[in-house]
């Protein structure tokens, strides 16, 4: 196949490109739905990440308070002060 035949064949294929857009309305509708679903998934993911970080912060702060409380009860200076 010569260069000229290849060029003619490409032009024929390119001229049929409008056939791809016959159902443009349905393609556009599907694109909008996919875009909406991606947005919902992204917002839900960010919400879960923020909720996990807040939960982690609460757990760590409570754990630190427990550690301080147990350290206060077992320190020798506190025991001596409570007995006098």
Got the DSSP string for 33-45? HHHHHHHHHHHHH
Structure tokens at 70: 């147990």
Query: Which residues have CB under 8 Å from 27's CB, separation 6+?
Result: 21
Q: Which residue has the higher pLDDT, 61 or 70?
A: 61
pTM flag (> 0.75): no
Domain ranges of the chain: 3-83
pLDDT (mean) for 55-79: 83
pLDDT (mean) for 68-81: 69
Please give the pLDDT value at position 15.
55
Please give the pLDDT value at position 33.
95
pLDDT at 60 over 90: yes
């Amino acid at each position: 196949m010569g260069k000229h035949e290849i060029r003619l064949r490409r032009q024929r294929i390119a001229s049929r490109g409008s056939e791809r857009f016959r159902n443009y309305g349905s393609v556009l509708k599907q694109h909008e739905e996919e875009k909406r679903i991606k947005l919902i998934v992204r917002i839900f993911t960010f919400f879960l990440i923020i909720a996990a970080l807040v939960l982690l912060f609460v757990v760590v702060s409570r754990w630190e308070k427990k550690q301080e409380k147990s350290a206060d009860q077992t320190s020798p200076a506190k025991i001596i002060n409570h007995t006098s």
